[in-house]
């Protein structure tokens, strides 16, 4: 059964290709949802799919792309949404 999780990634995660990193991995894992930069310098995303795929994405988020420095990833449940592919939101 699908789950949806909201994740907030803090650290040096803007201006380093982090959203594109998330987009590529989320699509490869077959997840739906979105990712965007937040005004406070963090990256916020919601991802939906199989729990194992969400766990894999969460692990990848903690690593990030080469130029990033992830300090914290906060995860909570979010309501399921219908008919959505993974995208970068603005």
Among residues 19, 24, 69, 87, the one annotated as catalytic is 19
Query: Is 47:7 a contact under the CB 8 Å cutoff?
Result: yes
Token pair for residue 56? 């894999």
Of 76 and 90, more confident: 76
CA dihedral (15, 54, 77, 63) in degrees, to 10, reads: -40
62 carries an active-site annotation? no
Residue 55: in which H helix or E strand, if any? helix 51-63
Per CATH, which fold does 3-88 belong to? Alpha-Beta Plaits (3.30.70)
| Confidence at residue 38, expressed as pLDDT on a 0 to 100 scale | 98
Instruction: Judge whether 24 counts as a catalytic residue.
Output: no
Residue 88: the pLDDT is: 97
* pLDDT (tens digit per residue) in 3-54: 999 999 999 999 999 999 999 999 999 999 999 999 999 999 999 999 999 9
For 48, counting Cβ atoms within 10 Å of its Cβ (0-12 exposed, 13-18 middle, 19+ buried), the class is buried
Taking the domains of the chain in order of start, what are their residue ranges?
Answer: 3-88
Q: Which of 37, 66, 72, 87 is catalytic?
A: 37
């Amino acid at each position: 059964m699908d789950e949806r999780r909201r994740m907030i990634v803090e650290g040096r995660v803007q201006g380093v290709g982090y959203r594109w990193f998330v987009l590529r991995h989320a699509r490869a894992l077959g997840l739906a949802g979105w990712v965007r930069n937040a005004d406070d310098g963090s990256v916020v995303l919601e991802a939906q799919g199989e729990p194992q795929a969400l766990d894999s994405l969460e692990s990848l988020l903690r690593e990030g792309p080469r130029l990033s420095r992830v300090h914290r990833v906060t995860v909570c449940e979010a309501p399921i949404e219908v008919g959505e592919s993974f995208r970068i939101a603005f």
